[in-house]
Amino acid sequence: MNILILSTSDKGGAANACIRLHQGLLEQGANSKVLVLQKTRKDVPEIHRFLEVYEPRTLLKRIKKAPRVLSFNRKRTQQMANRPTKEMFSFFETLHDVTKHPLYEWADVINIHWVANFLDYPSFFSQNTKPIIWTLHDMLLFTGGYHYEKGFPFDAFKDLTQHHYNIKKKIFKNQDFTISCPSIWLQNCAKDAQELYPKAKHKLIPYGINTAVFKPYDKAIARSEFNLPPDKKIVLFVAASVDGNRKGIKHLLNALDHLEMDNLGLAVMGDNVEKLNLDNSKAFPLGFITDPSLVSLAYSAADVFVIPSIEDNLPNTVIESLCCGTPVVGFNIGGIPDMVLDGKNGVICSEINAYSLASGIQKALSTNYDRIWIRQNAVERYALDVQANSYIELFESLIKEK
C-alpha cells in the first residue's frame, strides 16, 4: 500500500500534525511519502518538494488560469492589508496540478491535509482516480474561504465567501471521499455542512505525538534551563504568534490581573511577545522554540499550561503539555474538552471570559494532580502508533472498496 500525504508545508501547527502522522506510519512499516509545496525540513525521511510537471496541453491551461488566480491573490492581499487579521482566507484554485506529479501515479491512496494555496480543487477532483481521506485541521474545507470564524473580517470578504462556497458545492457534488477530523467539534461542523459533499463519509481520529520526545523533565532542571524563578507558580502560554485574537491571550492577561497573586509568573513561548507590553517582573518570554526537547522542558517547568483559545480544533499544544504531565486549563470550546478531563488532568472553564479563566487557573494551581497519571493517560490516547494504526486500517478499507 502506497500512501501519499499532501500538505502545503512541512512547518507550522497543521504541518507538524501531518508530519507526526507520517512518522507514525513509517514506524509501523507503512510506505508513506509526503508531497509539499514548501519544504524546509531535512530531519524527516520521504518528504518531497512539489515540482511542476507539465504537458503542453496542461501548460496552456495554466497560462489561461494565471491572470484569474493572480488577480484574486492581489485582491486578497489588499483586503488583508486594509483589515489586519491573523485569520486566513484561501482560494480554491491554484496553478498546481498534483495529478500530474509522479508521486500521485505511485500512490494507492491520497491523504490530504492542510493544502491552502497548493491543491487546485478543479483540476484535482476532475482527474482524481484514487481513494481520498481528507484530514481537517481547520474549517476551510466546508467554508467560503475562511479557516476559522472567530476574528475573521466577514464584511471585507462578503462578495467572495458565498461565491467560493457555491463553486465548492459544484466541485464536491459527486465526490466520494472520507473526512477525518481530530476533534468531535470539528467533525460536527463538517457533518453540519453535508450538503456541500453529500457522498462524503466521516471518521474521528485524534492527533498522535511522539511520546518518547514529549515527556516530563524534572521541574527544577527545566526552570534553570529558562532562568525561571524556582519559588513562583508558573503559568505557561504557547502560540506560534502570541498576539493572535483567536488564541485568547487578552483573556489570560486579564485573568492574571484578577488573581493578584504575588507568587505568580507567566511564561510565554512564541513570536511577537514584545507586542503584549508585559510586566517584566512577572512575565518571562521564552521566545519561539522549535526544538521538541526544549519545548518539553518548557511544559515541564510550568505548574499549569493555559490555552485561552476562543476557537480551535485539537491543539497540539494541549497534547504536548499532557504528555509532559502538566495539567491544562482552557475554555469549553473546540477539541479542548476532548482532551482535558475536568478535575483529572486540568480544568474546563464553563464561560469564555477572564473571570471564569481566573477561577480555573486558581483551581488548577491549588489541585495536587497526579502528573504520572496525566502522562500515562495522554500516552494511551495520543501515542503515534494509536493514530497511525487507525489510519492504516482506514486506508486499507478504502482501497478494498475501490
Q: What is the pLDDT of residue 242?
A: 73
Q: How far is Cα 222 from Cα 336, in angstroms, rounded to an integer?
A: 26
Q: What is the pLDDT of residue 213?
A: 96
Residues 199 and 73 in one domain: yes
Helix (H, G, I), strand (E, B) or coil at 279: coil
Q: Report the CATH number that the domain containing residue 198 is assigned in CATH.
A: 3.40.50
Residues 377 and 388 in one domain: no
Strand order in the sheet with 47-49: 47-49, 31-38, 2-9, 109-112, 132-135, 178-181, 201-204
Residues 153 and 245 in one domain: no
Q: Is residue 277 part of a domain?
A: yes
Residues 362 and 305 in one domain: yes
**Grid coordinates of 282:** 512577572
Q: What is the pLDDT of residue 52?
A: 58
Q: How far is Cα 340 from Cα 328, in angstroms, rounded to an integer?
A: 7
Residues 42 and 161 in one domain: yes
> Per residue in 178-223, pLDDT tens?
999 999 999 999 999 999 999 999 999 999 999 999 999 999 999 9
pTM reported for the whole predicted model: 0.90
Q: What is the pLDDT of residue 64?
A: 56
- Alpha-carbon Rg of the chain, whole angstroms? 22
Q: Is residue 149 part of a domain?
A: yes
Q: Is residue 214 part of a domain?
A: no
Helix (H, G, I), strand (E, B) or coil at 129: coil
45 φ, ψ to 5°?
-70, 160
Residues 50 and 172 in one domain: yes
Q: Is residue 213 part of a domain?
A: no
Residues 257 and 137 in one domain: no
Q: Is residue 117 part of a domain?
A: yes
Q: Report the CATH number that the domain containing residue 257 is assigned in CATH.
A: 3.40.50.2000
Q: Are the C-beta atoms of 172 and 112 separated by less than 8 Å? A: no
> For the residues of 280-310, what is the DSSP string, one character each?
TTTEEEEE----HHHHHHHHHH-SEEEE--S
Number of domains in the chain: 2
Q: Is residue 185 part of a domain?
A: yes
Q: Is residue 77 part of a domain?
A: yes
Nearest in space to 167 (alpha carbons), one of 191, 127, 196, 134? 196
Residues 190 and 235 in one domain: no
Q: Is residue 104 part of a domain?
A: yes
Residues 390 and 266 in one domain: no
Q: How far is Cα 215 from Cα 269, in angstroms, rounded to an integer?
A: 18
**Grid coordinates of 388:** 497511525
Given a cut of 70, the residues of the chain with pLDDT beneath it are 52-87, 243, 275, 277, 279-281
Q: How far is Cα 76 from Cα 87, in angstroms, rounded to an integer?
A: 12
Residues 97 and 166 in one domain: yes
Residues 245 and 165 in one domain: no
Residues 231 and 252 in one domain: yes
Nearest in space to 305 (alpha carbons), one of 379, 383, 357, 250? 357
Residues spanned by the domain of 189: 2-208+384-401
The rounded Cα 302 to chain-centroid distance in angstroms is 22
Q: What is the pLDDT of residue 83?
A: 52
